[in-house]
């Protein structure tokens, strides 16, 4: 992936790395430990195989995610994990997640009659 030559500020640069709907969810999912592709896809409902593959490649090129291949008999197993840079990025995103849980998830649950404690929303609130 090609990055821009100039940024307005640090947030601009960081958003260039995690931009889009799915990359932050990939980071969140990998925050729980290494995952195989299928595990990632199941853990991120709605993402297509093509988009997930593309985002994983971009995150790997940026040094955020590592990709490890291993042969188990005749089967090739590919595992993705956060690099130390990816861990630090997840830590930087944690306050943003906390803000979203505090200010938006509760309201979302109240609107849908769930009280903010249903399904995926609750999982997104798990501490890192």
What are 12-33's pLDDT values in tens digits? 888 889 988 899 999 999 999 9
Residue with tokens 């729980």: 32
Q: Report, as an integer, the average pLDDT of 66-71.
A: 94
Phi and psi, residue 69, nearest 5°? -105, 140
More confident residue, 52 or 100: 52
Distance between first and last Cα of the chain: 28
* Predicted confidence (pLDDT) per residue in 45-64, tens digit: 999 999 999 999 999 999 99
Contact call for residues 35 and 29 (beta carbons, < 8 A): yes
Look at 125 and 63; give whichever has higher pLDDT: 63
Query: pTM score, two decimals?
Result: 0.76
- How many residues are there in the chain? 128
Which run of H or E residues covers position 81?
strand 75-82
Q: Is the pLDDT of residue 77 over 80?
A: yes
């Amino acid at each position: 992936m090609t990055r821009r030559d100039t940024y307005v500020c640090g947030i601009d640069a960081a958003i260039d790395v995690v931009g889009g709907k799915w990359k932050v969810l990939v980071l969140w999912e990998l925050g729980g430990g290494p995952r195989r592709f299928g595990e990632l896809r199941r853990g991120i409902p709605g993402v297509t195989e093509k988009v997930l593959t593309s985002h994983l490649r971009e995150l790997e090129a940026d040094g955020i995610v590592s990709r490890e291949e291993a042969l188990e008999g005749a089967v090739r197993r590919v595992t993705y994990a956060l690099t130390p840079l990816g861990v630090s990025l997840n830590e930087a995103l944690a306050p943003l997640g906390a803000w979203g849980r505090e200010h938006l998830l509760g309201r979302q649950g109240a609107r849908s009659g769930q009280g903010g404690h249903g399904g995926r929303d609750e999982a997104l609130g798990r501490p890192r």
